[in-house]
Structures are given as C-alpha cells and as structure tokens.
Structure 1
Amino acid sequence: MNDILLKTLDGQLVERPPVWLMRQAGRILPQYRAVRSNMKSFKDLVKNPVKAAEVTIQPVDELGVDAAILFSDILVIPEAMGLDYNLVEKKGPMFPTTIQSWDDIAALIDGEEAALKLEYVYNAITETKDQLNDRVPLIGFTGAPWTLFCYMLEGEGSKTFSKARRFLYQHPEWSHKLLQKISATVAEYLKIQIEKGVDCVQIFDSWAGCLGTQQYHEFGLKYIRWILEQLPENTRTIVFSKGAHASMEELLDLPCKALGFDWQIEAEYIASQVNGQKVVQGNLDPCVLYADNEEIVRSTQRLLSVFKGGHIVNLGHGVYPDTPLSGVKKFVDEVKSFRY
C-alpha cells in the first residue's frame, strides 16, 4: 500500500510529500468524460456505486496520485434531509425550493435518519475499496454546515451568498437550528463513511470566506468543531476553510489533523503561522497548471521548498475542468520526484 498520505497525517517522517488534487476525478480525464457521456445526469453517476467507484479510481491509474477521493457531491446532505437539487450543466447546483421559514427548517429530517438515506454513497465506498485493493488510501468527504446552509438558503451558487448571510442577521435562532440539523446529519454521515472503510475525511467549507471573523466563529467553526468531536478518536481529518485567513488562530485550535489552504495566502505565511501545529494541505494556484512546463516546475518547486515536512501537496482549490491533462501530470510528477 502507498500509505505516504496516512503517514504524513499521523506525523511520521516521509521521504517526500504526498500529492493529490481536489476534483481530480472529473472532466480533466478523458476516461471520466467517456463514463459521464453514458449517464443521464451527474446525479445518476453519483448514485451508481459501480460507476462512482470507477471514476474515483481513474486518477490513481492515470495520474499516479497518492490518494483517491470518493466521487460524490456535497449536496447529497441537503437532499437526504429533504431538499432536492439538480445539477445544471454550466450553471451548477439548483434547488427547486429553498429554506425560507421556520416551518421549512422544522420539516427537514436530520441526524442518523437522514444519513441512512445515503446508502448509495456507502455502497460506492465498499465498491471503491474492493477495486482499489489498498493501493492508495481513500478519502471521504462532506460539505461543512455553513457551506451547505448557503446552498439551502440561496438555491444556487452565488458570488456573495447575501441571502444566506442576511438570514443570519434576521433569524439567528432559526439559523442555529438549521446549522444544528445539518451538523447532526454530517456527523452521522462521516461516521458511517469511516465505518465503511474510508481512511480519512475532509470537510469542505467552500464559502467560509463570505463571513467575517466573528460570524465565522459563531456560524461556521463552532459547528465544524462539534462535528470533529463526534468522530471516533484518531480519525484522520482535514478541514479546508476557503478564504478564512483571518480565522487562522481558531483554525489551528480545531481538533483535526490537517488544514487545507487556498492559493490567496502565501505558503511562507502559512508555514510561519502553523509552525508544525498541523499538517498543511495546499496551496498551489490551480491556474499554474495552464502554464508551460518550466513555470509549472518553478511554481511547484517554490511551494515544495517552503515546507520541510508535514505537507500534503494539493491545489488551493479544485482543479478546473478545462485544465490541460499534461499540466496536471507535470505537477504530480514534479512532486513525486522531490525528496526532502
């Protein structure tokens, strides 16, 4: 087994940092596009355990990354709670109905009852583990409560998520109740993923940067902390709070193994602030992979030179769908040839 990722998360010395990419199972791979073209929708692919396992493993075979991340979607949680969504090509997620009142919140199911509706995800984990045969670890994941809250209030993607943020001010008690329900579901969801065999889990808080520091403490990090505290002891956990740079001190205090960082914060600053307290994941600008090989090598080497261990190399966000496959491979190969 290639367990370099797990050793890094456990604080062990390794000869080089592990590398994987957020959204590595997707449109950058022709194999993925071939599978997707034969499915009626993205959701059909997510809900087909055999096909989900196939596309989960594709980047391991094609790119040689050090981990697979389960092919799924963060919005399976709102759907399991009773809020359906569609994924519209080139537009992203769309919710036919959104949360607008206390009655809407009260009507949602949560916790174990909701998590058990996601059997197709757990079957995909089993199928993936069988096919991977311990070649590399399998990462499970979920959206964070605040990010899921954003979609459930807004109904779609947004640059500002002003509807969701407005709701926090107008209805703080309702907001906390919804976040509690989401958190209870997420915690049970992750526990079942762990029982089914994922080797570590990542919490994606994609819209953390939409909130100010105090609001992110109150409506974001408090719930992430609670979820982490519900998981089995020694669970390998990664928290990626995109844009939450001002909350560094509180992020470092979370009971997780690793913190992911976006590309809008310098690696040198991250290293100086983290100072060995957590494993660092990230934080190359995804657009570097559009550059020529010389620039990809230069940027990757600069990132690698900052950390002397305790680093999972990744992008500062998901790899963009039209990224040249050659650029992705060059990045991965450069990391794999590096030695401390």
Structure 2
Amino acid sequence: MMGTGKGTAAPRSALLDVLNRKPAQRRPIWFMRQAGRYLPEYRAVREKAGSFLDLCYNPELAAEVTVQPLRRYDLDAAILFADILVVPHAMGLPVTFAEGEGPVLGTVRSREDLDRLRQVAGTYEVNQVCRTVSLTRAQLAPNQALIGFCGAPWTVASYMVGGGSSDRVMAKVAAYQRQPWFCALIDRLVKESVDYLSAQGDAGAQAVQIFDSWAGDLVGTELEEFVMKPVADIVAGVKERHPALPIIVFARGVGMAQYKAAAIPGANAIGVETEFGLADLPKDVVVQGNLDPVALLAGSEVVAREVGRICSSIDRQRHIFNLGHGIRLGTDPSVVGAVVEAVRRHDE
C-alpha cells in the first residue's frame, strides 16, 4: 500500500530518473511491443475492436491494451498503443492493415502527391491518440511512466513511397538521387512529427521514443542526411516546446553509427539493437536495450543467462532494460515474466 502520511515520499519513476540522470531505485524495464498478440487479453480486446486501426483510434480500448502488460508484469513504463503510420494517416494518406500482410498505404512519389497532404495538428487521428494518452495516464501509478512515440522520417517515408511494401528500394533510390520531392517529404515529416509528439506531451506522455526501424538501410552521407539529421531536428523541435520531456532515439541497425545517435543534442537515451554490445558505447550515454526477442522463444533458462550478461555489462543507473526489437508473436507470456524476474534478481 502506498504511504500517504507526513514525511512519506511518493514513489518515483525509475524510468524517468534514469532518463534524467537522477539516482534510480532500480533498473527500469519496459518492452517494445509489450502490448500485443502474444497476450490473450490483448487478443480478446482486438477481436472486440475489429480492425487494428479501429483499435488504435478507440481511446478506451487502446488505453486498456496499453495498461494490460503492467497488470501482468512488474514493469516501469507503459508504451502508448498506436502505430508509426498514424502520422501519414493523419496527413490524409489511405492506410489499411491486411491481416497477416502488414500495412498498405497510398503512395507519395511526387511534389504534387506531397502537397495534397494536410497537417496533422487537430486531426481526428491525432486527437484520438491523445485521448488514449490521457486515459492511460489516469490509470497508471505515479511510478509507472507513460511513453509516447512516433516513427522517424526515414522509416515513415519509406512506407509512404513504397506503399507499405517491405521493399524499400524506391525510397532508397529517391534518397540517393536527392529527389527534391523526397527531401521535401522528409522535411515535412519532421514538422508533423514534432507536432504529433508535442501533442502527446500535452496530453500526458512523460517520455517519447522516436522509432527509426529501418535506419540501417542507409550508410554514409545518406545515413547522416536522412536518418540522423531529421531525428535531431525532431528532438530539437520537441525540446523547444517541452524542454523537460525526455526523448529516446531508437535507430535500429546502424551499428557503430550508434555513436552519432548518442551525440544528438537533447536526446536523453538511445535504444540499441541486439547486435550491439552495450559495453562498447560511451560511458556517459543512457542506453536502452538489448535482449534478443528470439531468446524469449528459447525459454526461461536462456533468458536468465542473457539477462545476466546484459545487466553485468552496464551500470544500472544508465540502463533501461528492453529488447533489441519488439516481442515476437508466439512468445510465451510466462517467459516475459521470467525476464522481468531475472532483471530484478540481478540487481538485488
């Protein structure tokens, strides 16, 4: 029971403490895709909601699935249930999700296509997501942080150009050629993402993450121009409106270029994919990650070993325990619980 008597300190958020470089009482834990199809309670709500997008834009149901994992596990944060394609959808681009096939989008492949898209501020899609933020925040304990998010410009643009295809060749060609319409699309996504994350902050998100899931597609000057700079511009824009809102940058697959992500001014932490050793990063950087999601399919004994290896490699005062990517479909919920228990045992 939470004490309320005089002199009893309110419970603090370990996640926010680590992000703000304050002493934390324990190593914070949350998981990418911690609300998802591996949980039977999620599947029940999803069936009730109908389509995936219907669930995303139903604030009551989206808030419910956002908090479900925290009822099962001793986690330090909830991650908003939404999708990285909310921004292009709010801009007016048709978006659908075919069961088992991923997203299908209308395409942007010219300046004319881009000019037809609207601003996201005040749209139905953004307003519904922000209602989810507010409803979720009201259901969480003071020590449970709520994380909002958006997709990074490169990743979102790759879906918009390719029509949702997992083949991102068209977007890469446009980036290599420095097509003016593509450069304008990236700039536009920076602006809309700042507005979107700022709205989440206004609604009650206490930290935000920028997901660049396909950042590893680009190298050299293209990586700098279409991944690192746009993300840095989003961080700067959000910090101008919400100076105290912590921001996590997750540039998946960039390898040694994680040093560039870690150097983005204003970023409070970087998320690190499975393949990168946490001990190899600068000691002044807050790091999130990086258990292999596939290890969870191998069972509790394997994850206990991997948790020990990861936690031993980095000071818990600058580490947020997470996966290198999202929880996979087919993961046993009990193994997720075993991960949490292993982290807690390691830090006793």
TM range, smaller chain: over 0.9
**CA distance in structure 2 between the aligned counterparts of 1:51 and 1:223, rounded to whole angstroms:** 32
Corresponding position: 1:245 with 2:255: yes
Corresponding position: 1:205 with 2:215: no
- 1:74-113 alignment to 2 at 5 Å? 74-95=84-105, 97-110=106-119, 112=121
Of residues 259, 267, 275, the one that matches 1:264 is 275
- 1:127 is paired with a residue whose SS is helix
**CA distance in structure 2 between the aligned counterparts of 1:166 and 1:113, rounded to whole angstroms:** 33
* CA spacing shift, 1:294–1:249, aligned 2, 3 Å: closer
Give 2:64's aligned residue. Answer: 54
- 1:238 is paired with a residue whose SS is strand
Structure 2: stretches of 5+ with no match in the other structure: 1-10
- 1:37 is paired with a residue whose SS is helix
User: Does the Cα contact within 8 Å between 1:289 and 1:327 map onto a contact in 2?
Assistant: yes
User: Does the Cα contact within 8 Å between 1:110 and 1:184 map onto a contact in 2?
Assistant: no
Of residues 197, 202, 206, the one that matches 1:195 is 202
Q: CA deviation at 1:14?
A: 2.4
Corresponding position: 1:307 with 2:308: no
Which of 1 and 2 has higher RCO (CA within 8 Å, sep 6+)?
1
- 1:333 is paired with a residue whose SS is helix
Give 2:132's aligned residue. Answer: 124
Structure 1: stretches of 5+ with no match in the other structure: none
The letter for the 2-side match of 1:212 is V
**CA distance in structure 2 between the aligned counterparts of 1:243 and 1:311, rounded to whole angstroms:** 19
Q: CA deviation at 1:133?
A: 4.4
* CA spacing shift, 1:184–1:109, aligned 2, 3 Å: same
Give 2:338's aligned residue. Answer: 330
**CA distance in structure 2 between the aligned counterparts of 1:304 and 1:15, rounded to whole angstroms:** 15
- 1:282-293 alignment to 2 at 5 Å? 282-293=289-300
CA deviations on 1:14-71 (whole Å, 9 max, x unpaired) are: 2431111000001121110111111220111111000000000000001221100111
The letter for the 1-side match of 2:234 is I
- 1:126-145 alignment to 2 at 5 Å? 126-145=134-153
Coordinate RMSD, CA, aligned: 1.5
Count of matched residue pairs = 333
User: Does the Cα contact within 8 Å between 1:49 and 1:123 map onto a contact in 2?
Assistant: yes
Give 2:186's aligned residue. Answer: 179
**CA distance in structure 2 between the aligned counterparts of 1:28 and 1:298, rounded to whole angstroms:** 22
Q: CA deviation at 1:157?
A: 3.7
Give 2:302's aligned residue. Answer: 295
**CA distance in structure 1 between the aligned counterparts of 2:59 and 2:218, rounded to whole angstroms:** 36
CA deviations on 1:96-133 (whole Å, 9 max, x unpaired) are: x211222101111236366x751000111111111224
Give 2:227's aligned residue. Answer: 220
**CA distance in structure 1 between the aligned counterparts of 2:190 and 2:114, rounded to whole angstroms:** 13
- 2:76 is paired with a residue whose SS is coil
Corresponding position: 1:9 with 2:9: no
**CA distance in structure 2 between the aligned counterparts of 1:133 and 1:85, rounded to whole angstroms:** 34
The letter for the 2-side match of 1:147 is T
Give 2:28's aligned residue. Answer: 18
User: Does the Cα contact within 8 Å between 2:86 and 2:125 map onto a contact in 1?
Assistant: no
**CA distance in structure 2 between the aligned counterparts of 1:249 and 1:21, rounded to whole angstroms:** 23
Q: Which runs of 4+ in 1 moved over 3 A?
A: 111-114
User: Does the Cα contact within 8 Å between 2:214 and 2:252 map onto a contact in 1?
Assistant: yes
* CA spacing shift, 1:122–1:111, aligned 2, 3 Å: closer
CA deviations on 1:288-308 (whole Å, 9 max, x unpaired) are: 111232221111101000011
Normalised by the size of structure 1, how large is the TM-score?
Answer: 0.94
**CA distance in structure 2 between the aligned counterparts of 1:9 and 1:217, rounded to whole angstroms:** 25
The letter for the 1-side match of 2:190 is S
User: Does the Cα contact within 8 Å between 2:14 and 2:143 map onto a contact in 1?
Assistant: no
**CA distance in structure 1 between the aligned counterparts of 2:122 and 2:221, rounded to whole angstroms:** 32
The letter for the 2-side match of 1:38 is K
